[in-house]
């Protein structure tokens, strides 16, 4: 079956209106970023107890979505799922864009973004960040070469590039998990499971996001999208969610069982605070249980609206997982004197809440808007989208 | 010897002469920090410390630490922690906490630009002109020794020390400028109880070495195997 990829027309009023709205949000985000540097980072919710806030959550979330959507493109090229070939180009393109978004979020979170080239000049082989700087930049490059091979019809390149891209995506997201997993100082970070959890969460959130992007893009451009393709993706999504849930359960049970980590873990799970709700309602109920019921229930698993609803929940649920990963490890005080009571005038021994600020939210939304603008421009400039996405069986 | 060869030889000899001249710049104030004979450390006698906090305020003034009324962004290079066991009526102990100048410093391991480094004499320093302000070191440090400068620091209490700009991380550096000029860190000099001592851990006759040799010293979070060089007597 020959698949024809074409550019979108992109002349409708709706599209210009959408672009205008996105541009306003992006401008607000850039203004918030400017304010952080002209007035100081105290306008964010971050402080000396909580040095990493929402920007880091957004960054690692985007990396996850990126790694997940790339694997989707590899389904046809590497894993022999030929029916997903119509999505090969768009998935790689989205993967590259989301990585650009996450890099923006990381760099604009720094105190000195003007020194952006220094990590490349002074590599520190013991630093996970240094490794990630190398992995992320080479990952964008691999995505571009992969796209180029598909656009120019170099079929011999596509499979090797696909394999390389999948290996790199796993490396990129293992590296992102390792940022936290390698930190011995914080009980809620230090974990060998951090990297595998991040990779599986990437698969589930990336697949869910691609379902949402595909359905909305095909609908907005009036192109035909075979329901069986979306149902096929949803069949992958269900098991991904279960694997993430399994890793999360293992991690938290081990931490609850260990006396030295019991206190911070029970603070998250049973503390009755905002993180308790994010964990149980956001991650477990909305992000895992309800989507699983939808995706494994014979009544709903073949219904497109239900699949879209489940995908939306998964995208939100994995964001909650990221919040739970980054924030409580800092909110719960460091344990300098184990099993003793500690206090000082530097927030020692007390819980310091992270109050997210308008500036950070604006910056995060602004970066997501920039990604969306680039996505629309990309569709208009390049033949990324198939003129129609039919299941292979139509051929027979 | 031709004239050209003579000029070449002269150039080589001149360059050879310039090398020792340049390396002498590293011998700041007469102490050679490059040959590994010095390993600085500190011993704090908690049985003498009464928690008055004068070391902390002297440190703040001497090092131009970023000082703001908002406690959440007010930087502490040295702070007094109050610690007591979880027993009823147990006595509270005052413990001055600062950068522990670990040999295996996690902040140095995680720094993506090698802005944090352990100098040959064991002092952990930050190159503030290289720091990108990513704050990974603040995540990695188990002692919360590091603070981010969250906005422009107005205070400039000690004109001899550059103050840290907005957007990078600062911490205790054992008053490296004073140490390099043969002085003691300002906290050691300020302490009226003479509870703090600072010196060369490699010199077995130094006061710090003798206190450590007494076998009654401990370090904070020794379980993390970081090789901290701030020891506490009576912890």
Q: What is the pLDDT of residue B89?
A: 87
pLDDT band at B35 (very low <50, low <70, confident <90, very high): confident
Q: Which residue has the tokens 């989707």?
A: A72
Nearest-CB residue to A124 (from B76, B112, B167): B112
CA A61 to chain centre: 3
Task: Please give the Cα distance from B162 to B164 (Å, whole number).
Answer: 7
Residue B2, pLDDT > 80, answer: no
| Nearest alpha-carbon partner for A260 in A329, A184, A335, A158 | A335
Q: Which tokens sit at B41?
A: 């450390």
Sign of the alpha-carbon dihedral angle for B7, B12, B16, B18: positive
Chain B residues whose CB is inside 8 A of the A343 CB are 81-82
Q: What is the pLDDT of residue B12?
A: 56
Interface contact A124-B136, CB threshold 8 A: no
Minimal CA separation from A181 to chain B, in Å = 11
Interface contact B130-A118, CB threshold 8 A: yes
Share of chain B above pLDDT 70, in %: 86
Tell me which of A332, A345, A351, A359 to substitute to probe the interface with B (most B C-beta atoms closer than 10 Å). Answer: A345
Contact A179, A125 (CB under 8 A): no
Task: Please give the Cα distance from A70 to A96 (Å, whole number).
Answer: 8
Task: Please give the Cα distance from B169 to B150 (Å, whole number).
Answer: 9
Q: What is the DSSP secondary structure assignment for residue A338, as one 8-state letter?
A: T
Which ranges of chain A does DSSP label H, i.e. alpha helix? 13-39, 54-77, 88-107, 118-121, 128-151, 155-181, 194-221, 227-257, 259-270, 274-277, 290-296, 304-326, 328-331, 358-381
Residue B9, pLDDT > 70, answer: no
Q: Give me the mean pLDDT over the B228-233 stretch.
A: 96
Least confident of A382-386, B18-22, B46-50, B145-149: B18-22
Sign of the alpha-carbon dihedral angle for B106, B109, B113, B118: positive
Rg (CA), chain A: 22
Q: Which tokens sit at A323?
A: 């919040």
Q: Give me the mean pLDDT over the B89-116 stretch.
A: 95
**Prediction pTM value:** 0.90
Nearest-CB residue to B72 (from A49, A116, A184): A49
Q: What is the pLDDT of residue B154?
A: 83
Contact A373, A21 (CB under 8 A): no
Q: Which tokens sit at B31?
A: 């102490």
159-218 of B, contacting A, C-beta below 8 A? 166-169
Q: What is the DSSP secondary structure assignment for residue A373, as one 8-state letter?
A: H
Interface contact A111-B85, CB threshold 8 A: no
Q: Which tokens sit at A376?
A: 């629309």
Per-residue pLDDT of A127-165, as tens digits, reads: 999 999 999 999 999 999 999 999 998 888 989 999 999
Q: What is the pLDDT of residue B23?
A: 44
DSSP string, A200-221: HHHHHHHHHHHHHHHHHHHHHH
Q: Which residues pair with A343 in a beta bridge?
A: B82
Q: What is the pLDDT of residue A3?
A: 79
pLDDT truncated to tens, each residue of chain A (396 aa)? 577 888 888 788 989 999 999 999 999 999 999 999 999 999 999 999 999 999 999 999 999 999 888 888 888 888 888 888 889 899 999 999 999 999 999 999 999 999 999 999 999 999 999 999 999 999 999 999 999 999 998 888 989 999 999 999 999 999 999 999 999 999 999 999 999 999 999 999 999 999 999 999 999 999 999 999 999 999 999 999 999 999 999 999 999 999 999 999 999 999 999 999 999 999 999 999 999 999 999 999 999 999 999 999 999 999 999 999 999 999 999 989 988 999 999 999 999 999 999 999 999 999 999 999 999 999 999 999 998 888 776 554
Average pLDDT, chain A: 93
Interface contact A110-B75, CB threshold 8 A: no
Task: Please give the Cα distance from A67 to A201 (Å, whole number).
Answer: 10
Cα separation values, A338 from A108, B141, B231, Å: 36, 16, 17
Q: What is the pLDDT of residue B19?
A: 46
Q: What is the pLDDT of residue B21?
A: 44
Q: CB under 8 Å to A326, separation ≥6 — which residues?
A: A52, A56, A57, A60, A180
Task: Please give the Cα distance from B198 to A102 (Å, whole number).
Answer: 45
Chain B residues whose CB is inside 8 A of the A41 CB are 148, 150-151, 166-167
| Nearest alpha-carbon partner for B178 in B192, B194, B161 | B161
Size of interface A-B (CB pairs under 8 A): 170
Task: Please give the Cα distance from A192 to A28 (Å, whole number).
Answer: 39
Count Cα atoms within 13 angstroms, Cβ side, for A89.
Answer: 22
Task: Please give the Cα distance from A80 to A89 (Å, whole number).
Answer: 16
Contact B122, B176 (CB under 8 A): no
């Amino acid at each position: 079956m020959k698949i024809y990829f074409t550019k979108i027309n992109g002349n409708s009023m709706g599209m210009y209106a959408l672009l205008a709205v996105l541009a306003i949000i992006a401008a607000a985000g850039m203004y918030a970023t400017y304010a952080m540097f002209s007035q100081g980072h105290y306008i964010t919710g971050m402080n000396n107890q909580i040095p990493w806030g929402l920007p880091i959550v957004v960054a690692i979330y985007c990396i996850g979505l990126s790694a997940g959507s790339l694997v989707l493109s590899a389904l046809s090229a590497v894993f022999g799922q030929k029916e997903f070939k119509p999505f090969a180009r768009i998935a790689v393109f989205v993967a590259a864009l989301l990585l650009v978004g996450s890099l923006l979020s990381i760099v604009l979170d720094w105190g000195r973004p003007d020194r952006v080239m220094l990590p490349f000049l002074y590599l520190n082989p013991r630093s996970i960040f240094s490794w990630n700087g190398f992995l992320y930049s080479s990952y964008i490059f691999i995505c571009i070469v992969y796209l180029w091979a598909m656009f120019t019809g170099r079929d011999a390149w596509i499979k090797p590039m696909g394999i390389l891209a999948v290996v790199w995506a796993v490396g990129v997201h293992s590296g992102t998990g390792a940022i936290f997993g390698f930190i011995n100082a914080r009980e809620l970070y230090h974990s060998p499971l951090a990297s595998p959890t991040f990779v599986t969460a990437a698969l589930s959130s990336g697949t869910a996001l691609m379902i949402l992007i595909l359905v909305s893009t095909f609908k907005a451009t009036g192109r035909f999208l075979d329901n069986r393709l979306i149902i096929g993706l949803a069949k992958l999504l269900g098991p991904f969610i279960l694997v993430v849930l399994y890793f999360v359960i293992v991690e938290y049970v081990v931490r609850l069982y260990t006396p030295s980590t019991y206190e911070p873990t029970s603070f998250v799970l049973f503390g009755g605070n905002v993180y308790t709700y994010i964990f149980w309602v956001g991650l477990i109920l909305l992000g895992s249980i309800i989507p699983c019921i939808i995706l494994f229930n014979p009544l709903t698993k073949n219904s497109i609206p239900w699949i879209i609803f489940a995908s939306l929940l998964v995208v939100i649920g994995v964001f909650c997982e990221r919040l739970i990963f980054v924030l409580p490890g800092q909110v719960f005080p460091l344990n300098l004197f184990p099993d003793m009571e500690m206090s000082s005038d530097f927030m020692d021994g007390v819980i310091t809440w992270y109050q997210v600020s308008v500036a950070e939210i604006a910056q995060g939304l602004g970066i997501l808007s920039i990604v969306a603008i680039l996505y629309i421009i990309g569709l208009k400039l390049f033949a990324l989208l198939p003129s129609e996405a039919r299941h292979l069986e139509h051929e027979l | 010897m031709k004239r050209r060869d003579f000029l070449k030889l002269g150039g080589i000899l001149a360059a050879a002469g310039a090398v020792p001249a340049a390396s002498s710049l590293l011998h700041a104030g007469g102490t050679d920090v490059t040959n590994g004979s010095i390993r600085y450390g500190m011993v704090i006698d908690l049985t003498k410390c009464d928690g008055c906090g004068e070391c902390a305020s002297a440190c703040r003034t001497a090092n131009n630490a970023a000082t703001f009324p908002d406690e959440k962004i007010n930087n502490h290079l040295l702070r007094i922690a109050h610690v007591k066991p979880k027993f009823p009526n147990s006595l509270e102990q005052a413990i001055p906490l600062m950068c522990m100048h670990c040999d295996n410093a996690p902040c140095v391991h995680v720094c993506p630009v090698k802005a944090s480094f352990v100098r040959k004499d064991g002092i952990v320093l930050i190159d503030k002109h290289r720091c990108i302000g990513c704050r990974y070191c603040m995540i990695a440090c188990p002692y919360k020794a590091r603070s981010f400068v969250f906005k422009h620091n107005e205070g400039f209490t000690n004109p001899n020390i550059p103050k840290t700009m907005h957007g990078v991380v600062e911490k205790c550096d054992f008053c490296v400028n004073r140490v390099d000029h043969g002085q003691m860190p300002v906290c050691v000099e300020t302490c009226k109880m003479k509870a703090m001592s600072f010196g060369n851990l490699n010199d077995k006759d130094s006061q710090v070495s003798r206190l450590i040799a007494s076998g009654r010293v401990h370090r904070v979070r020794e379980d993390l195997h970081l090789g901290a060089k701030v020891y506490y007597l009576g912890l």
